[in-house]
Amino acid sequence: MDRSQKQVLITGLQNELKEASTVVVSHYAGLTANEMTRLRKQVRESGAQAQIVKNRVAKLAFAGTAFEGLADMMKGPTIIVFSADAVAAAKVTHNFAKENDALQLVGGSLNGVTLDVNGVQALATMPSLDELRAKLIGTISAPAQRLAQYTSEPASKLARVCKAKGEAA
């Protein structure tokens, strides 16, 4: 790879990282080709992206971004998984690492804050943005449903009493 190709790769990776809020770094030594394909598929399905790049290229791409702190983690055969969703990259990587011992979490970064392995695992156990939205909507709509139920209940009781009196007469 000559310098111009390397620069294009670095620029492309930097542009993708600008959209990301989370980056997770893992070692993939020992994963088979089928396992790597399954990992990439799961990453795509979660809305994240995964890339295997040379460590030197990744370090150059991290320079000048919020993820500069990850440069020290780039040793050995590494894969970076990144996403705009704060928990998607961590969740898919963590879940895959639980199933496959060959994938070792190294660390990550959330909006420029460098995380160790425990930080990535904690991030992975958090609910996703969609789950939080669903909980919020459920919490907001529950009182309104109860209010509608309670206000309509006396009228329905009165209607049932009138109907019963009418049928008895």
- 136 and 115 belong to one structural domain: no
- 113 and 154 belong to one structural domain: no
- 37 and 104 belong to one structural domain: yes
pLDDT tens digit sequence for 86-103: 888 889 999 999 988 888
What residues contact residue 68 under an 8 Å CB cut-off, 6+ apart? 62
- 26 and 100 belong to one structural domain: yes
Distance CA 134, CA 63 (A): 37
Domains contained in the chain, number:
2
- 70 and 148 belong to one structural domain: no
What is the Cα 98 distance to its own chain's centre?
A: 16
- 90 and 67 belong to one structural domain: yes
pLDDT tens digit sequence for 21-37: 889 999 998 888 999 99
Find the domain containing 107 and state its range. 3-126
- 98 and 155 belong to one structural domain: no
Q: Last residue of some domain: 110, 126, 142?
A: 126
Find the mean pLDDT for residues 133-154.
72
| Tokens matching residue 116 | 């160790």
- 145 and 84 belong to one structural domain: no
Has residue 131 got a pLDDT over 80?
no
| Tokens matching residue 34 | 């089928």
- 90 and 162 belong to one structural domain: no
- 122 and 157 belong to one structural domain: no
- 47 and 102 belong to one structural domain: yes
Q: Give the CATH number for residue 68.
A: 3.30.70.1730
Has residue 123 got a pLDDT over 90?
no
